[in-house]
Chains A and B, each alone.
Chain A
Amino acid sequence: MNKKEPILDVKNISMHFGGLKAVDKLSLQVYPDEIVALIGPNGAGKTTFFNCITGIYEPTLGDVFVLRDGKKRRLNGLKPNKVTELGLARTFQNIRIFSNMTVLENVMVGRHCRTKSWVIGAILRDKKTRQEEIETIEYSYNLLEKLDLHKFANEMAKNLPYGAQKKLEIARALATDPVLLLLDEPAAGLNPQETSELKDIINKIKEEEKISILLIEHDMKLVMNISDRVYVMESGRLLAQGTPREISQNPEVIKAYLGEEHA
């Protein structure tokens, strides 16, 4: 599998905040059709790493490359919206849905970077704009159906239960037509039943949509279950990487997670 070129290639990136090295020379690759997990104790720099590759921060050192349609592009210093256009879509650790829009509209916003109409189109509502609008609605509705959210389509997003809001964030991210989906703690706050549903969704995205997934997660059972490879971070550095099996037996990882005496 690893013969192919990686779709996300992160080379030695560092993120310094003054003297603090939140991410320190981290390298990470994600290959097509692969689920990769990034784990580590709280404060290890996982979310900072996400923010670095999605353009919210500009990394101090190192390079981030993404492969889309056979073209390799460097992401450093690009704005978040450009990064999304190039095919990285993300969800957030604390839900960031657009609460005063309907569920369908939330997903339609995700289509923004794949559609074109602007002021004149909006006012004149010409044939092209109408066509684009219909396609957007159709695409978004189909996505909602895939994630079993279509019954809420015209509800206000803020009125959804927590689990559904988390799914909506995934649906919205998928609407941007990404090559890689970055999930920041998708299972946080979900009950066991919702977590298992999430597992199916992630697998389905990988199988049916051919989208790779990079996720940050604390739920070890989920991580070990679905990921093909796991990266472990601790205080900004890469501690270990390998298959879930290798990781779960790595003494250093166990030490980092559970403390000295368990090692």
Chain B
Amino acid sequence: MFEEIKKSLKVSIWFMFLTFPIMVIKVNLTDKVIIWRWKNLILVGIGSFFLSFIWRYLLERKAKKAKKEEMGIGQTSIFLKIFNNPKYAKPLYIIFLLFILAFPFIFSMYQTNIMISALIYVMLGLGLNIVVGLAGLLDLGYVAFYAVGAYSYALLNYHFHINFWLALPIGGLLAAIFGIVLGFPVLRLRGDYLAIVTLGFGEIIRLILENWDEFSFGPSGISNIPRPSLFGINLGVKESTIFIYYLIVFMSIITIFVVNRLQNSRLGRAWIALREDEIACQAMGIDKTKTKLTAFALGATWAGFGGVIFAAKTTFINPASFTFLESAIILSIVVLGGMGSIQGVILAALIMILLPEYLRAFSDYRMLIFGASMVLMMVFRPEGLIPSSRRKYEYDPTKR
């Protein structure tokens, strides 16, 4: 304890020294006087002392927990217990689903619109989860497929008047094809190198959209994209927002259903094996090429669907919606939620998109909070909010 206090004191002195020039000295140029703000020095000292103390305490607690886990007496948090116990989890999911279904009637149009974007991100997160979480292929250009989806609806509609319902599968398919196109050159790459190439790919798509005016109308984008019609009836703004809301809820449920089935299948196991050890995975007879390309294609498909819905929701798209920052946000959703964990990705997507909307008061500090929470997450909970757990297979040898 005494040792800890001493260490924290050292930290606080170091911080007071470091911040001295900016926090204490203030040069007033008009009056040519120097103002010494000693009060700030004390505040920095006390603040850094306490923060360092808490930091150390949390680290120690984490180390203790890890030790306990190693000895096999680790206890999962109440949070996880609820999630992993079907008795509690089921009603919880049902309540959550009912809440989601009733959402547009409880809250205003504005809130519903925010929820639509959050659910689009749920879909994007789950799609990227296939590539990054399951197959372990770090993809920093995922937003490119989102752009492909959005532009395929916008352009097909502009040139050929193709309606939303036809554009939805086409957008998904085109994104899947682009996934394979990206997949081929990066088959041999892994880790950092893969990340760099995918980052480049994302930028290439954005730059093409920005500069090829004849094709994509450049930075001014495409406007007047029609909202989806319901059996040929064109809906008003309010009705169609509600309609899009239910559409995206439906699509999210489909995504969850498909990703869940995929991850516990022969293909899902092959992806995870690929993530765990590429050489051993091949030695077990898994075709690396086919498995990787399938991961890229299936991951991209959801981004394509998301893009079509996004275009239909906003009725206007331009390349500014598909910057690297979007890729980074989708990737943080996957990492924060827990790689390969469906519940985790959903929770993280809702937090990442809804919190900034409802905390508009702190919007100046948004990036600061975002960065700080990322650092804290990686230090204290690197496995994500809800770590993925593998399926347990029940097999009773007596029932042969």
Q: Does B373 interact with chain A (Cβ within 8 Å)?
A: no
Chain B, range 254-292, C-beta contacts under 8 Å to A: 258, 261-262, 265-270, 272-273, 275-277, 279-288
Bound CA span A74–B266, Å: 28
State A99–B284 Cα separation when bound (angstroms). 15
Q: How far is the CB of B134 from chain A (nearest CB, A)?
A: 11
Q: Is B395's CB under 8 angstroms from A110's CB?
A: no
Tell whether, in the assembled complex, residue B276 and residue A117 are in contact, meaning their CB atoms are under 8 Å apart: no
How far is the CB of A141 from the nearest CB of chain B, in Å?
5
What is the total number of residues of chain B having a CB less than 8 Å from a CB of chain A?
33
B392 interface hit (Cβ, 8 Å): yes
When the two chains form their complex, are residues A113 and B286 in contact, meaning their CB atoms are under 8 A apart?
Answer: yes
| In the complex, B21 has a CB within 8 A of chain A | no
B232 within 8 A of A: no
Contact with B262, one of A56, A123, A137 (Cβ below 8 angstroms): A123
Is A122 within 8 A of B283, CB to CB? no
A81 at the interface (CB under 8 A from B): yes
Q: For residue B399, give the distance in angstroms from its CB to the closest CB of chain A.
A: 10
The distance in angstroms between the C-alpha atoms of A100 and B134, with both chains bound, is 11
**Chain A residues positioned under 8 Å from B281 (CB to CB):** 98, 109
Give residues of chain B (228-261) contacting chain A, Cβ–Cβ below 8 Å: 258, 261
Chain A residues closer than 8 Å to B391, beta-carbon distance: 102, 105
Within 8 A of B (CB), among A123-173: 123, 125, 129, 132-133, 136-138, 141, 145, 150, 153-154, 156, 172-173
**Smallest CB gap from B294: residue in A:** A119
Task: Decide: A153 and B265 in contact? CB cutoff 8 A.
Answer: no
Q: Residue A115 at the B interface, CB < 8 A?
A: yes
Give A128 Cβ to nearest chain B Cβ, in Å.
12
Task: Count residues on chain A whose CB falls below 8 Å from chain B CBs.
Answer: 50
Number of A-B residue pairs, CB cutoff 8 Å, is: 129
Q: In the complex, A100 Cα to B340 Cα: how many Å?
A: 11
CA–CA, A112 and B288, complex, Å: 12
Whether the Cβ atoms of B272 and A98 lie closer than 8 Å is yes
A125, B288: Cβ atoms closer than 8 Å: no
Interface presence of A26 (CB below 8 A): no
Tell whether B397 is near chain A: CB-to-CB under 8 Å. yes
Asked if A90 lies at the interface with its beta carbon under 8 angstroms from chain B, I say yes
A residues within 8 A CB of B105? none
- CB of B170 closer than 8 Å to a CB of A: no
Interface membership of B333, Cβ < 8 A: no
Question: B298: CB under 8 A from chain A?
Answer: yes
> Is B269 a contact of A112 with CB atoms below 8 Å?
yes
Contact of B265 among A85, A98, A122, A172 (CB under 8 A): A122
Answer yes or no: A96 CB below 8 A from chain B CBs: yes
B368 to chain A, nearest CB (A): 33
B291 to chain A, nearest CB (A): 9
B268 proximity list for chain A (CB < 8 A): 122
Residues of chain A with a CB closer than 8 A to B261's CB: 122-123, 125
Q: Does B393 count as interface, using CB distance less than 8 angstroms?
A: yes
Q: Do B390 and A101 touch (CB < 8 A)? A: yes
Q: Does A80 contact B (CB under 8 A)?
A: yes
Given contacts A92-B283, A119-B267, 6 further A-B contacts (CB under 8 A): A90-B283, A92-B279, A104-B395, A112-B270, A137-B393, A153-B393
By a beta-carbon cutoff of 8 Å, the part of chain B in contact with chain A is 258, 261-262, 265-270, 272-273, 275-277, 279-288, 294, 298, 390-393, 395, 397, 400
12 contacts between A and B (CB under 8 A): A80-B279, A81-B286, A84-B283, A92-B280, A92-B283, A105-B393, A112-B273, A118-B267, A119-B294, A122-B262, A122-B267, A123-B258
